[in-house]
Amino acid sequence: MREQVEREAAQAAAAVGQLHDEGVTRALERAAELVGERAGTIAEANAADIEAATLDEGALDRLRLDNSRIAALREQLVQLAALPPLERDEDSWTLENGLRVSVRRIPIGAVGANFEARPNVAVDVAGQLLKSLNGAVLRTGGAALRTVTVLVDEVLRPALAAAGLPPEAVGLVRFPDREGARMLVSLPHVLPLVILRGSGETTAALAREAAGHGVRTLAHAEGGGVLYLGAAADPAKAETLVEASLDRLGVCNRLNLLLVDAAARVDVAPVLERLGIGVREPERIGHEWANDPEHIASVTVRTVASLDEAVALANRETSGLAAAIVTEDAGAAERFLESYRGTAAFWNATTRFTDGFALTGSPETGINVDRVPGPRGPVTYRDLYLRQFRVIGDGSQHR
């Protein structure tokens, strides 16, 4: 198994040098056509996956590629093809000695992507990696492997070939068991970076495993939005934003922890009741209800004595994904925005906007919540590059 993964990764890495923007645009456009032309084969494989699956209802729904999802897949590819390529020159200047210096964005190489049994993610994430001129090695939950194999072998690879690009730029872990995910994060020389979609303990364990191998991951094992109703919160806005933060319950950027300032003239009980959301006491304050299917319609609520206490709680006890303040006091808002250290900070807006596409117009490759320089928060294809200094002289310059 290791040999297969290593081979697909090495081939994808070797193919990267032949990718170029014009070719990738053509490949993405061709992939969109192929999704239509091979719709029957895709549907067949998907039916077999569903037939064999032993999943709960939600997971089964995400596994299903019905006609509307296949249409959405085509549309995504068309839109991705139309987005501007990554600008490769970040900055440039000339030194006094005449050296011309530029900061360039070069491809990473092959990048791994691990995702649960949602076959549309295969096309989505591979498309974004290609868009940034990187190779991709995909690994999906075993339940979706038939569908994803068809999407790789009958859509993505033929589309690359049709565009004159090496088809092996997209690789696949072709084994259904979890060991495949561990392989994916253990090959630093060919896969220095792996995107981990999804959350929960499985993702956390994979991220740890990757780190032990010197492989960097972009991941958010834990998510959950914080909403702080400040002392000067407008009650109507507070209610609107609680509701806007709970429009979907299975997503990482939904309201998870509701902090109510003791001085706020807001009663959250009526709106939560109207929405059918229970106030529940978690094992620990960062517990993410979105990952707790039995109690998904819950929020954690805390009364806090001050803005400082709210920020301290958000910084110390939560995932660091996103937090929002509701207040009419601009000074308080500024203090909140300046002191919250998560990946996205909101004022009178819902954390549900913590989303690459919603914020930037580029589809989201993944979300990363680590606390080091580099792509953080929603990550898009525009983040998937290495920095390289380029220096041009006339041979005369010396230290």
Site for a second copy in 75-104 (CB under 8 A): 95, 99, 101
Distance in angstroms (rounded) separating the CA atoms of residues 238 and 242? 6
Q: Given candidates 73, 77, 81, 109, which one binds a second copy under the rule CB under 8 A?
A: 109
Residue nearer to a second copy on the CB measure, 37 or 334: 334
Q: Which tokens hold the place of 217?
A: 């991951």
- CB 346: neighbour CB atoms within 10 A? 25
- Selected from 23, 376, 380, 381, the binder of a second copy by CB under 8 A is 376
Q: Which amino acid is at 88?
A: R
Q: Which of residues 27-56 bind a second copy (CB under 8 A)?
A: none
Please report, as residue ranges, which positions from 111 to 170 form the binding site for a second copy (by CB under 8 A).
none
Stretch that binds a second copy, among 28-36, 117-125, 170-178, 345-353 (CB under 8 A): 345-353
Q: Residues binding a second copy: what is the number (CB under 8 A)?
A: 72
- Contact call for residue 211 and a second copy (CB under 8 A): yes
The one among 84, 276, 284, 372 contacting a second copy by CB under 8 A: 372
Which C-beta is closer to a second copy: that of 119 or that of 377? Answer: 377
392 binds a second copy (CB under 8 A): yes
Select the span of 51-59, 224-232, 256-264, 388-396 touching a second copy (CB under 8 A). 388-396
Nearer to a second copy, 158 or 342 (CB): 342
393 binds a second copy (CB under 8 A): yes
Structure tokens at 183: 């392989």
Is 248 in a helix, a strand, or coil?
coil
Residue 212 makes contact with a second copy by CB under 8 A: yes
The window from 77-85, 123-131, 150-158, 243-251 that contacts a second copy (CB under 8 A) reads 243-251
**In the chain, which ranges are continuous DSSP H helix?**
2-15, 21-37, 39-52, 57-63, 67-82, 119-131, 145-150, 157-162, 179-184, 201-212, 235-244, 269-275, 307-317, 330-339, 356-360
Interaction between residue 374 and a second copy (CB under 8 A): yes
Residue 293 vs 393, nearer CB to a second copy:
393
Does 398 engage in binding with a second copy (CB under 8 A)?
Answer: yes
CB nearer a second copy, residue 30 or residue 352: 352
- Nearest to residue 152, comparing CAs of 143, 139, 141? 139
Closest separation in Å from C-beta 138 to a second copy: 19
Please report how close the Cβ of residue 150 comes to a second copy at its closest, in angstroms: 31
Nearer to a second copy, 313 or 344 (CB): 344
66, 247, 267, 273: which one binds a second copy (CB under 8 A): 247
Q: For a second copy, which is the closer residue by CB, 171 or 378?
A: 378
Strand pairing class (193-196; 170-172) = unpaired
Residues 256-315 that bind a second copy (CB under 8 A): none
How would DSSP label each residue in 301-353? EEEESSHHHHHHHHHHHS-SSEEEEE-S-HHHHHHHHHH--SSEEEESS-GGG
x/- letters, 191..210, toward a second copy (CB under 8 A): -xx-------------xx--
Measured CA to CA in angstroms, residue 205 lies from 37, 263, 290, 363 at distances of 39, 41, 19, 26
3-state DSSP call for residue 257? Answer: strand
**Smallest gap from residue 390 Cβ to a second copy (A):** 5
The C-alpha angle 374, 254, 311, rounded to 5 degrees, equals 65
Q: Site for a second copy (CB under 8 A): which residue of 108, 117, 130, 150? A: 108
**CA separation for the pair 141, 172 (Å, rounded):** 12
Tokens of 322: 């996103």
Dihedral sign computed on CA atoms, order 31, 33, 38, 44:
positive
Give the one residue of 38, 118, 216, 220 binding a second copy; rule: CB under 8 A: 216
Minimum distance, C-beta of residue 104 to a second copy, in the bound complex (Å): 8
Element (H or E) spanning 165, and its range?
Answer: none
From the list 34-42, 64-72, 79-87, 385-393, the region that binds a second copy by CB under 8 A is: 385-393
106 binds a second copy (CB under 8 A): yes
Q: Judged by CB, which is closer to a second copy: 70, or 242?
A: 242
Task: Locate 93 and state its tokens.
Answer: 């200047």
Burial label for 301, CB within 10 Å (0-12, 13-18, 19+), is middle
DSSP β-bridge partners for residue 384: none
